[in-house]
């Protein structure tokens, strides 16, 4: 059973000084899964990924990545992992081809020339192969970074906010590529802030302040939050939102375009608070909570618990 | 497998560094330009054989031989006779630094020469900067003797014997290399290499860290020694280009004799370049940003310049400074370059200077590899 677990770690902890950045996180990821990592900035996502790929040594906890010990076999892990950093980290003064060639040499890719050519073709970078990486737009840089991460045919892909600052079309193409890779058996761990991207993952985990708050499929995460959500439409919503915030039973009041989303973990008092709205100029109806409602609720709860 | 040094990974780093060097035109121009500019500047500007030094004459004689003496000194070009003045005025000018020398010609100078009494002439020198006066003082006796050799009337010629007609009290200064360039130009080879090599590699790792490419490099299986040596090799070639430029300039611009074996010089230069590069890489692993790295490089460069014997005579320094200077690779390389080029020294003669350079390189390289962190911890 554990043989198809690509990542299997438990109680992983990392401290910088007296600040606990990752606090006892356990995670199991099966081969071929796309695992989404979500959470506010500074929640420890990047630190956790760096521990998985051998860039950081955990202070506590244990486990394996690709079957190698994350504490002692970092050199072996590095050979089989493709890690795409949050910030573009290839050489801006090298051309696309030179960057790919460099990485291919570093990993000792067999048939290097063909590998570089194939990579250029597959990602549609062939015509621009002599362009300097520094002159590329955000979307193209991201494609190059992905191509470089894949050139040594890794068994695990770790992507740290790969789509930040990338336009929707490029993002969609990027995700299509990720799903193809996953279908081919590659395991992908990806961090993101985008809800639509979270919904494209097989499994998601939500981190805040170094703690893993919830994980599972999108449906499981939503269900486990036990959240009730109402959608309110009508006139003067900003004023209504002001009035509803802090009312008994209501945990979140968030503007969603021309509607208000009101969420509650305790539906009985919430229904009572919302009852007057059902008769006035406003319309109020119960809706299934979205992932974003769940995350905002989780984040606020986490803030109360860990700060 | 990946724990051992991998030639192909090392070669990947070398190729990458070459491409980046090629792209960074400004730095590349600097690496070729700096040696030339420094060579022309220092080669022509630094001169320890100053001429036309201001001189005052106190002539209590006024006879024809006094004039002969003053004329001879003027012709020598070492002395620039400003004025004939009184004893008091001359003393004050000397004190104020308005003149470098005061020549005191005694009463009856001419008459006493004719009598063969070898009158004493006092040449006072402002010796604040001994290097400035030494060559002129060294030359004065020859100047005087040759002047009187011409001007003494026939019957007095015998006065030109070994003692000469005039008694000059001058401090001779042994100066085996009379021409400054012979000393400065070979020395510049070491100075230029120290400066450019240390600065350039001091940036090597900090640049990767600042641009964020370090995280990526660390996530690959590349080993510290592969990165270090891979970054050093391209600059050894640059260093050889600099050595060649300086040797060509020495030969054809400054006409410095090259007596010794050039192959031997290139071999020691390899060691010296590697030592400086290793030092730079060490700085690079310690510095937090590129500015800090450059500052560290200059912190290393200044003592190298001042304590190595390039600027000031090594034996003139106090003992503690000599100890400090002996720890610097430039000190030893200067001796090797001057020894090989000017004295034709061979391996046996330079060996005592070679091993300290090698030791320095090994220590710096060891520290660099140790300091290079493979993780971000």
What does each of the 307 residues of chain A score in pLDDT, given as a tens digit?
446 899 999 999 999 988 999 999 999 999 999 999 998 888 899 999 999 998 999 999 999 999 999 999 999 999 999 999 988 999 999 999 999 999 999 999 999 999 999 999 887 878 889 999 999 988 889 989 999 999 999 999 999 999 888 888 989 999 999 999 999 999 999 999 888 899 999 999 999 889 999 999 999 999 998 889 999 988 888 888 888 888 888 888 888 888 988 998 888 888 888 888 877 788 888 899 988 888 888 888 777 666 5
pLDDT for B306 equals: 82
Distance from C-alpha of B259 to C-alpha of B192, rounded to nearest angstrom: 22
Q: Is A156 on the interface with B (CB under 8 A)?
A: no
Q: Is the pLDDT of residue B160 over 90?
A: no
pLDDT for B154 equals: 58
CB A99 within 8 Å of CB A136: no
By CB atoms closer than 10 A (0-12, 13-18, 19+), residue B331 is buried
Q: Is A85 on the interface with B (CB under 8 A)?
A: yes
Report chain B's terminal Cα–Cα distance, integer Å: 24
pLDDT for B175 equals: 33
- Residues 172..211 of A with a Cβ closer than 8 Å to B: which? none
pLDDT for B1 equals: 44
Strands A228-233 and A283-287: antiparallel
Quick check: A74 and B213 CB within 8 A? no
Distance from C-alpha of B101 to C-alpha of B53, rounded to nearest angstrom: 8
Q: Is B221 on the interface with A (CB under 8 A)?
A: yes
Strand partners, A35: A189, A203
Q: Is the pLDDT of residue B45 over 80?
A: no
Q: How far is CA B150 from CA A69, A172, B117, in A?
A: 96, 101, 19
Segments of chain A assigned to CATH 3.30.70: 228-288
Q: Is the pLDDT of residue B316 over 70?
A: no
Q: Is the pLDDT of residue B97 over 70?
A: no
pLDDT for B156 equals: 58
**Across all residues in chain B, what is the average pLDDT?**
80
Task: For residue A189, give the nearest of A170, A152, A153, A162 by alpha carbon.
Answer: A162
Q: What is the mean pLDDT of residues B21-48?
A: 72
Phi, psi (degrees; rounded to nearest 5) at B312: -125, 150
CB atoms within 10 A of CB A176: 11
pLDDT for A305 equals: 66
Q: Is the pLDDT of residue B376 over 70?
A: no
Distance from C-alpha of B168 to C-alpha of B143, rounded to nearest angstrom: 11
Sequence length of chain B is 377
Token pair in block for residue A179: 């799903």
CB A50 within 8 Å of CB A2: no
Quick check: A50 and B376 CB within 8 A? yes
Distance from C-alpha of B227 to C-alpha of B233, rounded to nearest angstrom: 10
Q: What is the mean pLDDT of residues B233-241?
A: 91
Q: What is the mean pLDDT of residues B12-28?
A: 83
Q: Is the pLDDT of residue B132 over 70?
A: no
Higher pLDDT, B337 or B31: B337
Superfamily of domain B53-168: abc type-2 transporter like domain (3.40.1710.10)
Q: What is the CATH number of domain A228-288?
A: 3.30.70
Any idea of the CA torsion for B305, B308, B314, B319, to the nearest 10 degrees? 110
Boundaries of every domain in chain B: 14-46+179-371, 53-168
pLDDT for B188 equals: 87
pLDDT for B172 equals: 32
Highest mean pLDDT among A269-283, B20-34, B171-185, B235-249: B235-249
ipTM for the predicted complex: 0.82
Distance from C-alpha of A194 to C-alpha of A200, rounded to nearest angstrom: 10
User: 0.90 cut: is pTM over it?
Assistant: no
DSSP state of A290: P
Highest mean pLDDT among A144-153, B51-60, B284-293: A144-153
Q: Is B376 on the interface with A (CB under 8 A)?
A: yes
Q: Is the pLDDT of residue B178 over 50?
A: no
CB A60 within 8 Å of CB A70: no
Could you say which architecture CATH assigns to the domain A2-220?
Answer: 3-Layer(aba) Sandwich (3.40)
Higher pLDDT, B82 or B11: B11
Quick check: B219 and A132 CB within 8 A? no
Distance from C-alpha of B101 to C-alpha of B78, rounded to nearest angstrom: 11
- Residues 116..145 of A with a Cβ closer than 8 Å to B: which? 132
CB B341 within 8 Å of CB B197: no
Token pair in block for residue B37: 């500019």
pLDDT for A47 equals: 94
pLDDT for B349 equals: 79
pLDDT for B157 equals: 57
pLDDT for B361 equals: 93
Q: Is A57 on the interface with B (CB under 8 A)?
A: yes
Q: How many residue pairs from chains A and B have C-beta atoms closer than 8 A?
A: 80
Segments of chain A assigned to CATH 3.40.50.300: 2-220
Q: How far is CA A295 from CA A40, A159, A224, B166, in A?
A: 9, 21, 12, 105
pLDDT for B269 equals: 94
Confidence of residue B270 (pLDDT cuts 50, 70, 90): very high
Distance from C-alpha of B212 to C-alpha of A90, rounded to nearest angstrom: 8
Distance from C-alpha of A189 to C-alpha of A36, rounded to nearest angstrom: 6
CB A32 within 8 Å of CB A185: yes
Distance from C-alpha of A14 to C-alpha of A20, rounded to nearest angstrom: 6
Task: For residue B314, give the nearest of B330, B296, B298 by alpha carbon.
Answer: B330
Task: For residue A157, give the nearest of A128, A200, A189, A197 by alpha carbon.
Answer: A189
Rg (CA), chain A: 22
With pLDDT > 90 as the criterion, what percentage of chain B qualifies?
A: 15
CB A269 within 8 Å of CB A248: yes
CB B308 within 8 Å of CB B314: yes
């Amino acid at each position: 059973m554990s043989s198809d677990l690509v990542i299997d770690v438990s109680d992983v902890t990392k401290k910088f000084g007296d600040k606990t950045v990752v606090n006892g996180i356990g995670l199991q990821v099966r081969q071929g899964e796309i695992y989404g990592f979500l959470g506010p900035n500074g929640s420890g996502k990047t630190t956790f990924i760096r521990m998985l790929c051998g860039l950081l040594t955990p202070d506590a906890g244990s486990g394996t990545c690709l079957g190698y010990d994350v504490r002692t076999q970092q050199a072996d892990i590095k050979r089989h992992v493709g890690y795409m950093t949050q910030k573009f980290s290839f050489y801006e003064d090298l051309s696309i081809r030179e960057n790919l060639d460099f990485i291919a040499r570093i990993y000792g890719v067999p048939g290097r020339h063909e590998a570089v050519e194939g990579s250029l073709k597959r990602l549609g970078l062939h015509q621009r192969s002599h362009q300097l990486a520094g002159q590329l737009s955000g979307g193209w840089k991201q494609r190059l970074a992905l191509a470089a991460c894949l050139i040594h045919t890794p068994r695990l892909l770790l992507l740290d906010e790969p789509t930040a600052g990338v336009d929707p079309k490029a993002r969609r193409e990027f995700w299509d590529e990720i799903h193809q890779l996953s279908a081919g058996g590659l395991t992908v761990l990806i961090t993101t802030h985008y809800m639509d991207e979270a919904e494209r993952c097989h499994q998601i985990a939500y981190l805040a302040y170094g703690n893993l708050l919830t994980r599972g499929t999108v449906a499981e995460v939503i269900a486990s939050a036990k959240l009730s959500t109402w959608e309110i439409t009508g006139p003067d919503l900003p004023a209504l939102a002001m009035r509803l915030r802090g009312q008994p039973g209501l945990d979140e009041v968030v503007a969603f375009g021309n509607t208000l989303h009101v969420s509650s973990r305790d539906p009985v008092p919430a229904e009572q608070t919302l009852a007057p709205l059902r008769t006035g100029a406003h319309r109020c109806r119960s809706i299934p909570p979205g992932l974003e409602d769940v995350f905002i609720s989780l984040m606020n709860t986490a803030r109360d618990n860990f700060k | 497998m990946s724990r051992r040094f991998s030639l192909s990974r090392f070669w990947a780093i070398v190729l990458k560094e070459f491409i980046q060097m090629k792209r960074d035109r400004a730095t590349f121009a600097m690496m070729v330009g700096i040696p030339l500019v420094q060579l022309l500047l220092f080669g022509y500007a630094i001169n320890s054989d100053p001429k036309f030094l201001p001189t005052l004459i106190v002539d209590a004689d006024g006879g024809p031989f006094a004039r002969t003496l003053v004329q001879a000194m003027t012709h020598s070009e070492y002395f620039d006779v400003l004025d004939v003045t009184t004893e008091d005025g001359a003393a004050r000018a000397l004190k104020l630094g308005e003149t470098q020398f005061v020549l005191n010609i005694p009463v009856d100078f001419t008459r006493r020469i004719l009598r063969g009494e070898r009158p004493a002439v006092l040449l006072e020198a402002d010796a604040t900067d001994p290097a400035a006066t030494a060559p002129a003082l060294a030359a004065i006796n020859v100047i005087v003797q040759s002047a009187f050799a011409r001007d003494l009337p026939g019957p007095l010629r015998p006065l030109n014997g070994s003692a000469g007609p005039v008694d000059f009290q001058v401090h001779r200064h042994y100066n085996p290399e009379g021409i400054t360039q012979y000393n400065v130009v070979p020395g510049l080879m070491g100075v230029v290499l120290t400066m450019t090599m240390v600065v350039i590699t001091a940036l090597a790792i900090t640049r990767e860290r600042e641009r964020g490419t370090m995280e990526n490099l660390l996530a690959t299986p590349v080993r510290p020694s592969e990165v270090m040596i891979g970054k050093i090799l391209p600059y050894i070639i640059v260093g050889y280009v600099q050595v060649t430029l300086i040797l060509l300039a020495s030969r054809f611009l400054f006409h410095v004799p090259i007596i010794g074996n050039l192959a031997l010089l290139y071999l020691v230069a390899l060691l010296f370049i590697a030592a400086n590069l290793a030092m730079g890489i060490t700085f690079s692993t310690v510095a937090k940003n590129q500015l800090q790295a450059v500052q560290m490089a200059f912190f290393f460069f200044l003592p190298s310049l001042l304590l190595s014997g390039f600027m000031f005579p090594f034996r003139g320094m106090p003992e503690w400074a000599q100890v400090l200077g002996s720890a610097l690779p430039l000190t030893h390389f200067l001796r090797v370059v001057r020894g090989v080029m000017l004295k034709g020294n061979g391996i046996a003669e330079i060996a005592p200077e070679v091993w300290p350079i090698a030791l320095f390189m090994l220590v710096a390289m060891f520290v660099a590899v140790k300091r290079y962190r493979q993780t971000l911890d």
